[in-house]
Structure 1
Amino acid sequence: MTNKLFIGNLPFSVNNDSLKDLFQSAGEVEDVHIIMDNATKRSKGYGFVTMLTEDEAQNAIKMLDGNELDGRKINVNIARPKEAV
């Protein structure tokens, strides 16, 4: 198990600070990283949030998965490790 979460279907208006504020309702946030398009400098609509503990990560999934954020239902799941190339 891990304390790193994948957040999908993010509105393009969301930034690292607003995502951190949202996830702090579920526990202590260690890190937030929204994936940006290098060419346009816009959000790609997904990112990662690392919670302090696995319990807080599970709590965030229960509390926030499927919740609406700026008109979009966000997906919150445990992040899968990067595939080895």
Structure 2
Amino acid sequence: MNNKLYVGNLAYSVNNETLIGLFSEFGTVTSAKVMMDRDTGRSKGFGFVEMDNEAQAKAAIDGTNGKSVDGRSLTVNIARPMEPRQNFGGGDRGGYRNQRY
């Protein structure tokens, strides 16, 4: 088990400070980040919290998973490593490189 947590089903009103306040009850929060949409600037509805150690992370999961925050029931579990993204050739004009149009 590690100490980085995935926090899902967040209300759009939840921000980084809200996460820190919610999880600091279970130990030292070393980082908290609500993921934001680049285009709209609005929350994507999930974030990550890193606790100081595994015991605090376990306590935070036990204390917050299923808890209602701003009318939404949180999903909290250990964060999985990000899966590698496939390269679809974005920006290369559909695979036709260096051709004049």
Give the structure-1-normalised TM-score: 0.97
Name the larger-Rg structure. Answer: 2
Give the structure-2-normalised TM-score: 0.82
In structure 1, C-alpha distance between the alignment counterparts of 2:26 and 2:80, rounded to whole Å? 20
Question: Gapped runs of 5+ residues in structure 1?
Answer: none
In structure 2, C-alpha distance between the alignment counterparts of 1:43 and 1:32, rounded to whole Å? 14
Q: How does 1:2-81 map to 2 (within 5 A)?
A: 2-81=2-81
SS of the residue corresponding to residue 47 of structure 2 reads: strand
Q: Give identity over the alignment, percent.
A: 49
- Quick check: which one's strand share is greater? 1
Tell me which stretches of 4 or more aligned residues in structure 1 moved more than 4 Å. Answer: none
In structure 1, C-alpha distance between the alignment counterparts of 2:75 and 2:82, rounded to whole Å? 19
